[in-house]
Amino acid sequence: MLRVYSFRDTEIRIDVCRNVYDPSDDTFLILEKATPHGDILEIGAGSGIISVFFALKGHSVTAVDINPEAVKCTIHNADLNGISVKAVAGDLFKGMGRFDTVIFNPPYLPTDDDFVGNEQWNGGSDGFMVTRPFLRELPEHLNRNGECFLILSSLTDVSSLITEFSSLRFDEVARSTFPFETLFLYSVKAGH
């Protein structure tokens, strides 16, 4: 099903693909508030809407997703918008080099769901099952002055995660509050 979105005066056409994360409030927070620079790596690209948007803004974008259907969807949506995005199947940073900006909307819901397709939202019992390994590897994949834009949720213990990764600098960029949770967009940089 084709949808048309508009963010920051840029129109994006996105086909919603079966078995692929549907753009939602967390996606929209990134689209509205993230300010990437240089070459971008998006991990967990889903439909590709974020990668397509920033490619339309003139960035060179590499999109990675563990779901091969999401990779196909990202390529399809890039084609729909007449731009190029390098989309590859992969697990976090595996096989990736260094980038100026990394964007990640991780599976952050604290749950022990165990069924096919749950990788889109399942963050494990504390919500950080995927975020922790991502943050451990992040500094090795950021260029000098590189920056990461990361979504976190009030359904998890965000302050404990920030304390655990005290070698990284976390700055809140924006938040969206809903009756059931608050979503945070953080800028994360290596070192203080």
Does the structure show a pLDDT above 70 at 123? no
pTM attached to this predicted model: 0.91
Superfamily per CATH, domain 2-190: Vaccinia Virus protein VP39 (3.40.50.150)
Euclidean distance between CA atoms 12 and 10, whole angstroms: 7
**pLDDT tens digits, 11-69:** 999 998 988 988 999 999 999 999 999 999 999 999 999 999 999 999 999 999 999 99
* CB of 181 closer than 8 Å to CB of 154: yes
pLDDT band at 124 (very low <50, low <70, confident <90, very high): low
Does the structure show a pLDDT above 80 at 117? no
CA angle, 184 then 190 then 192, to 5°: 90
Does the structure show a pLDDT above 80 at 110? no
Does the structure show a pLDDT above 70 at 118? no
Q: What is the mean pLDDT of residues 157-186?
A: 94
Which residues, listed in sequence order, are joined to residue 185 by a DSSP beta bridge? 151, 174
Does the structure show a pLDDT above 90 at 1? no
Give the domain ranges of the chain: 2-190
